Structure 1
Amino acid sequence: MLSQKVVGSLRVSVARAPFMAGVRHKSDNAGEASYSEQPLYLNPHAWQGLPADRIFELHELRKTALGKKYVPNDDERRAILSTVTELGAKTKPELEYVYALDHFKERHMNNTPVNLRGLPPQKTGIQVIKQGETPHQQRKIDILNTVSAYEMPLLAKFRQEYKPVSNKEAPITLRFSDDFSEESSSFNRKVTLSCNLADLELNEQQQRKFKILSGQRFNHETNEIKIASDAYPEATQNARWLAETFEKLLTHAKDLTDDLADVPIDTRHTQAQASYRKKAQKHEFPEAWKRPQDAPASKFQIVQKLVEKVKDQKDKEYMKSFTP
């Protein structure tokens, strides 16, 4: 049976080395008792009952001593978890650091920000410092990197060959926009529906009625209809409204009970758009107007002269190594 022996106070200096207090082991040979002294920080099973700051001190010493060979065991886990009551008390101990429980599936910190309290515990080996959100942000990045390294490659088993769909099978195109700002902004919730009339497989009378019903939404140059909506707070709601509206438009266009033969097709909006684009074209500056000789000459070129001088000097020094 192992006996526990803790020497020294919790606040003594390193020179007195309280963490070197040993644990006495008995020999397995009957009738003989050989004792060996081992540092306390290497025996986590003897940490039970110590104060929280003492346990954390021994834990850090064990990690430092073992280095890359450090592996937490059940004795160390139970000793650290035994400090939960003390850390959760109203009068919390003044620790110089806060330790995020590593591989223990729990986290107890005395510096958790108010906006992060009550969140599920994070499993990580990153030590948490007292101030700022940097460790919490770093923890999120570390978790994402872990998911990218170990979980995302497993998605390869769901891989499927991409087979593009022809315009005849899916004539409608829905375009969504996202600028990574608020989802409720008009830009993010806006959806645009476009469709080419040739992909709808309508006869001439149905195409004519479709153009009339589309009105200014139809472009007679590209033979394409375009409808946009941002009336609803969600982009999916706008997409659904566009699909339902287009379906109603197509249904009325196919119904030739009233083919609107007496209604002319209005193309003035397309002509106006073409005229506006033509006026908005950039005009080239006439070559005859370009007179570089009349440009004001720069009075001082000190920087340029210094740069050229340094370049010449460097080139000469470099060439000396090749010149006999």
Structure 2
Amino acid sequence: DEDDFQGDDISSLGHAELEQTREIREYARLAGWEMPLLANLAKPFTPPTAATPLRFRYTTYMGEQHPAQRKVVVEFDPKDLSLNPSHTQNLIKLAGVRFNPSTNIVKMSCEDHETQAQNKRHLGDTIKALIAKAKSPESQWLKDVPVDFRHAKPKKRFQFPDEWLLTKERKKELEARREA
């Protein structure tokens, strides 16, 4: 009967907090002992070449499953796809709201399938289909369609006021106030 609960154990909230502390310590150990070893595997950065115009982005949630983990986002500049100007214009029109005219980037995402690999494959197939459609002779009707950028609202850029800049007098005043 020594194993019976005698009211001397911590509550379930206490156990949850202990579990969280253990998890934090585990990641702290990883950061302290394992992560420095990753420096041996570091490679110098090489910018993307013309052969790799697509940039894929993945989201991972360390140590846990999450529904958004399967999402894959691809970005590319239509000018990097080595299409002639009319085909590039057709591709921009076909991409529609996925094209941002201020950055000249087409951004697409997919999270329809179970795995990241399947979603990446779907995006690749979609881009191939867009390029094929932009190049096809049937897309001559796109010449008459105007480019519609109503979805892209330019962001206002505010200038930092000069009177808000930190002057030498104001720095001295703040330092004096901190020391007091």
Deviations 1:111-155 (A, max 9, x none): 9xxxxxxxxxxxxxxxxx942325444444444433433333333
Residue 199 (structure 1) shift = 0.7
- Provide the residue aligned with 1:267 in structure 2: 146
Residue 193 (structure 1) shift = 2.4
Instruction: Give the paired residue count.
Output: 154
- 1:16-165 to structure 2, matched below 5 A, reads 91-92=1-2, 130-131=9-10, 132-133=14-15, 134-165=17-48
Cα distance in 1 for partners of 2:45, 2:111 equals: 31
Cα distance in 2 for partners of 1:217, 1:231 equals: 17
**Bigger Rg over Cα:** 1
Unaligned runs of 5+ residues in structure 2 are 158-179
Question: Out of 37, 54, 65, which is 1:172 matched to?
Answer: 54
Cα distance in 1 for partners of 2:122, 2:142 equals: 27
Question: Out of 76, 83, 88, which is 1:207 matched to?
Answer: 88
Cα distance in 1 for partners of 2:92, 2:31 equals: 50
- Partner of 1:269, secondary structure, is coil
2:99–2:106 contact (8 Å) kept in structure 1: yes
Q: Percent identity?
A: 24
Structure 1 residues 182, 170: CA separation in 2 closer, same or farther (over 3 Å shift)?
same
Residue 190 (structure 1) shift = 4.3
1:196 and 2:71 matched: no
Residue 281 (structure 1) shift = 5.7
Residue 245 (structure 1) shift = 0.8
1:248 and 2:129 matched: yes
Structure 1 residues 273, 240: CA separation in 2 closer, same or farther (over 3 Å shift)?
same
Structure 1 residues 183, 236: CA separation in 2 closer, same or farther (over 3 Å shift)?
farther
Instruction: Name whichever of 130-139 and 238-247 sits farther off.
Output: 130-139
Identify the structure with bigger relative contact order (alpha carbons < 8 Å, sequence gap 6+).
2
Deviations 1:30-54 (A, max 9, x none): xxxxxxxxxxxxxxxxxxxxxxxxx
